[in-house]
Structures are given as C-alpha cells and as structure tokens.
Chains A and B, each alone.
Chain A
C-alpha cells in the first residue's frame, strides 16, 4: 500500500502532458512551415506556366504548326523548328542510347574494380555537371572545324548526344544496380556466361529504369539552346530538310543529315529578342508547344516505369 502511493506520486501526469503538448506543437509548426515553402515554390512555377499559357495559347493553331517563320508575326509558324527538334532528338537518341547502355553495362558488370574504373566513374559524374555551353564549344571545335560536319543536323544531334551521354550512363547504371545479386547468382549457378546473364536477365529486368532515364535525359536535351547556338543553329529556316526517303533509286538519302537546322528553343530565342510585341506572343506559343513536348516525354517515362514496376518487384 505504501509502495503504490509512492509510485502514483512519482507519475505526476500534468508536467508530462504539458511537455508532450509542447513537442507536438513544434511538430505541427514544422509541418506548417514545410507546407508554406512548398506552396511558395509551386505558386512561382504555376505563375510562370500560367503566364506562358495565357500569353501563348491563343496563338497556337494549325497554321502556327504548319507555317515557316516569316517577317510578319501573324504569318510566322514553327514548322521547321518542330521538325528540327524531332530530327535532332532522333539523332541524339540514336547516338546516346547505344553508347550509354554499352558503357553502363561494361562499367557495372565487366569492369575490374580498380583505381582506373574509379577514376572513370568520378569523371562521368563530373561530366554530367559540365555546363552545356562547354559541350557546344567542344562540338564547334571538334565536329564543325575538325571533322567538317558543318552546321548541320548531324552536328546538332551529336552535340546533344555528348551532352546527355553521362546522364544516360548514370541512369542506366542505377537501374542495373537495382537488379538483386541473387538473380545474377541464380543465372550463373545454372551455368550461364556473363553475357547470357546480362542479356537474358540484367538488362531486361532493368529496362524500366533504363528507358525512364533515357527519356528524362532526352527531355533535358529538347530544351537545350546554348550548345546549339554555338555550333551554328540558324534561326530563320523557311524550308524543310531533304526527305530521308525518295521515290527514285536508292530510295533513301542521308542528305538531310547535312542540312542546316533549327530547333524549338532557338526559334523562341529568336522571336523573344525581337522588338515587336507580336513576336513575343509567338515565342510564348512556341513555349507552350515545347512544354507540351517535354510533358509528353515525361508522361511516357512515368508510364513505362509504372508498367515495368507492376511486373517486376524485388
């Protein structure tokens, strides 16, 4: 009896409750602050997008998509710009994807673990952070002056491929690393070679992550302007490149690779630097289209990731 009284006395509840209430209050304050910061960031972003849409959406029309640039703002369009963007992206993907995939597979599965591999890894990470204008300068010196590829689609595609290659490698390595070692061991224990293990298991099972990384890298490349100005993008092109297919022998042609090019951000840059207000509206409209292209690519990346996640979960 005497003992019980003592215990009850020692658990004096009020100070304990007050202390908990105080800590809970701080908890709520932090959550509130976090919400505020997030709202501010979102608002700025929404304001920017809203402004762009408000300015440009009225100008978006079939005519705008199918007309060449013009000195009259109302007749100008983005046909050569969006075709250019699509072709340059195609070349970029065609170059960066196989190179990045190969490099990542080699580094992750084959490379011996030594100082040279470490050095290469560190430098790939660094390359992903190099400002894009530096890639532009390198491409100008190497591709335009040294290899005489001209101020062409080929040069533009290769330049952006160099730019996103480190990102593709890093994303691919992350995806490959997510495949559990037990799966590799299962394949090896059956007598598979390294190549069979990589081809039949590691790459297929990490395809979701690989594709997502590639699309995200491409959606960064789609908005790049600086390196393409450096290698000589034209801002006024009133014609389309040579068609890759023709009705005469040999039915296909690579002439388009060496045609002068422009892309969406260059076209926007050109319009926004003009004094006339009407051209600024054109720039905003082109911005809306470019934004939609990027959003479409990101949506594709999310869809692919979700599809693969549903099938493969470790």
Chain B
C-alpha cells in the first residue's frame, strides 16, 4: 500500500491488525492501513469483507462483547497510543474517537439531552457552557435551524435524517479527533443522504473521517482516500480518484465497475 503522490500526515495507522470474533473466527487478516489526518477515508467491499469490523476496532467497540481478540497494532497519532492495546482503557479511546451508527440511535430523551450527554459523563459542566456546546454541536451538524426552538422535544419526533444528524451532533459535542461512520445513510432517503454527505465533506476539513459504505458513488463523492477490502484483507488503498478510475488491482477494478459484490 503506497500513496503515489504527496504522503499526507496520518491520524491513525493499523499495522498488521488481525481480529478474531469469539476468539476463533478470524475477521481481519493482518491489515496495514493508514488513515490520513483531516481527510475522509472510505472503506468499501462486499458484505462480510471486514470493513465494519475494522471500523469498530478503531474505537474498541468489540470490547463490549466477550471473547473478541485483537492482534497487531493500531497507532493513534500524534501521541502514538496503541488503540487496541489491552492496557489502554477503551473509554480513553472512545473519548477521542467518536462514532455514528448505521441506524440513527438517539436516546429516547430530549434533543438537548442527547447532545449534552457526552459532556455530562465527562464531569460537571456549568449550565451556560453546556448550552453553548450543545448549540455549537448542533450548528456543526447542520441541525440547529431546524431544532433551535424545540430543544426540549423528544429526539424520536425528528425525521430519520434529522435523527442521524442529531447523532452526528452528539458525537461532535465532545470534540473528537476522529469520527467513524458505519454506513450512516443506509437507512435514509436520497435527500437526507445528500445532507449527510454534504456534512461529511464539511467536517473532514477539521476532523479525520472514516466512513464505511456500500454505496460506491457515496465513497467517490465524499472521500479523499478509498480502501477496498475483500474477505478480511486489505486489497488496495489509494486516492479515491485512482481507485475508481485506474485501480492497480484486478479485483478492485472488478468491484468498482460492478462486476461483483
């Protein structure tokens, strides 16, 4: 895996990362993949190729279920913390790396409480500061104009696309260095999808974005780099234009031209 043109600074880098579900089923096979700082990297590949598994390694989500095992190293820059090191508390990682899920999953509380929760669990925040942070996060997620008059409303009363933007605001409120998106638009209609994509394009100016997607046009639209995975292995990672126009690997070409997957 090489970047042909200027080598961007990395935010995170997997080195020979392998992952086992329940200790036995190998889902990732020695992945080495760098994620450029303040750029968007798309992970593409057919179902079951390990792209979501890789994504969930980056904030140690796999630790929630017993028996899962990591091998290898994922460095988080600039301090070179090994994300998958057992000695590192996963909470420390999750405070730095946020996540947005496939299906919008707001808490069944108010819009305000959803966004404020990440700050609340970090300790007492003065009320005035909290209000400001919630507003900023909602502005960053392009939701503020729609909800500013009903912050006390239940999050469930929002539309699907609004709920997903609320989840993005919730993740942004704590100022993460990297934001993981796990097929964030697969439950949304085209209009809502377009707004999320627009948002991702804006956010990547200042946060490192990793986005898993089934939709190759989406990868082409929002990402600067694209990694193609197949059966638990990284096949190719390069600038997005190159992956979609002139991939080095035959398998990648067949996938992006729609011959399989």
Contacts and interface: CB of A to CB of B under 8 A. Distances in A.
Interface of A: 112-113, 180, 182-193, 196, 200-201, 205, 311-313
Contact of B171 (A180, A184, A188, A190): A190
A313 B103 CA distance: 15
B171 A191 contact: no
B91 A191 contact: yes
A113 B121 CA distance: 28
A137 B240 CA distance: 75
B144 interface: no
B138 interface: no
B107 A201 contact: yes
A312 B108 contact: yes
B101 A190 contact: no
B117 A182 contact: no
Contact of A190 (B66, B106, B121): B121
Contacts, number: 61
A183 B106 CA distance: 7
Contact of B156 (A186, A200, A313): A313
Nearest to A182: B105
Q: Is the interface of A mostly helix, strand, loop or mixed?
A: helix
**The 4 A-B residue pairs with the shortest CB-CB distance in the complex, in nearest-first order:** A189-B99, A191-B95, A190-B118, A182-B105
Nearest to A192: B121
Contact of A189 (B98, B106, B122): B98
B63 to A, nearest CB: 9
Interface of B: 59, 61, 64, 66, 91, 94-95, 98-99, 101, 103, 105-108, 117-118, 121-122, 154, 156, 167, 170-171, 174
Given A189-B99, A190-B170, A190-B171, A311 B122 contact: no
A189 B91 CA distance: 8
A59 B59 CA distance: 69
Nearest to A180: B105
B61 A185 contact: yes
A289 B156 CA distance: 42
Contacts of B61: 185, 188-189
Nearest to A314: B108
A70 B107 CA distance: 58
B174 A190 contact: yes
A201 B170 CA distance: 15
24 contacts: A113-B66, A180-B105, A183-B105, A183-B107, A185-B61, A185-B101, A185-B105, A186-B107, A187-B117, A189-B94, A190-B94, A190-B98, A190-B117, A190-B118, A190-B170, A190-B171, A191-B91, A191-B94, A191-B174, A196-B121, A200-B117, A200-B121, A311-B108, A313-B156
A192 B61 CA distance: 12
B91 A193 contact: yes
A188 B108 contact: no
A182 B98 CA distance: 15
Contact of A186 (B101, B121, B174): B101
B66 A112 contact: yes
